[in-house]
Amino acid sequence: METSLAPALRAVCVHGAGGGGWEWTIWARVFAALGWDVAAPDLRPAAAGLAATGVGDYLDQVGAWVAPTPDLLVGASLGGLLALAVALAQPPRALVLINPLPPQGLGTASSHAAVWPDVVPWGRTRSLAGTRRALPDADAAACLWAWRRWRDESGRVLREAAGVDAAAPSCPVLVLASRGDVDVPMQSSRSLAQRLDADFLAVDASHVGPLLGRQAGRIAAQVAVWAEQVLKSRNAG
């Protein structure tokens, strides 16, 4: 007698500025162990080059990643803002925003206040010491992993991100905020959760700590439990 296996749940992860899909390595392992298929592509510069890349170019890429509709869309930092904006027109079955850059009119982030050159040289000027300061809650191996992989970013994207507007998508949303985030204040994420009528989870981590810190695996497992619960509830309804 043949038995049919239920298809794996599908998650799409969107990284932050200056990073890449590699940021989701720990999360991908945790979700894969729970039976999920995980995609974490790299955001790519426009054909005209990094300096010419705008937030619309990144939004188009994320929009392509969520076709067909994923069970879960997850975004961190800039990736959280991109995921939220895309979810308005192409809602996933569930959405998770991790220390997301705030949309227009809702709080501030250090990236919104900065004056960015056309190309932000995070890759060319990266240092291990700077990575350790950015990831105080990560171990030495994770800091070394990140330091080797930071990349330059489009200043135009970061300038335009401050003007991205967003409303509540038609899917369950979880906003996860780090208490130790010096880039996106936790209160900004809390206010966003209230605007979106979303669930809210605060964790003891730095800005990138939920992805790369010592507690990243535990946090990923918490998010997976939340996602599976809301998906089960939607299926039952």
Mean pLDDT, the chain, integer? 93
SS3 138: coil
User: pLDDT tens digit string along 32-56?
Assistant: 999 999 999 999 999 999 999 999 9
What is the structure's pLDDT at 3? 42
What superfamily does domain 9-236 belong to in CATH?
A: Alpha/Beta hydrolase fold, catalytic domain (3.40.50.1820)
Q: What distances in angstroms separate CA 196 from CA 35, 199, 230, one per listed residue?
A: 29, 9, 16
pLDDT at 107: 64
What per-residue confidence (pLDDT) applies to 106? 76
pLDDT score, position 74: 98
Q: Which pLDDT score, from 0 to 100, does residue 108 have?
A: 63
Q: How far apart are CA 192 and CA 101, in angstroms?
A: 10
**Alpha helices (H) in 12-96, listed in sequence order:** 25-33, 55-65, 78-89
For the segment 175-209, what is each residue's pLDDT rounded down to a tens digit? 999 999 999 999 999 999 999 999 999 999 999 99
Locus of tokens 């991109």 = 82
pLDDT band with cut points at 50, 70 and 90 for residue 219 = very high
Q: Are 164 and 55 in contact (CB under 8 A)?
A: yes
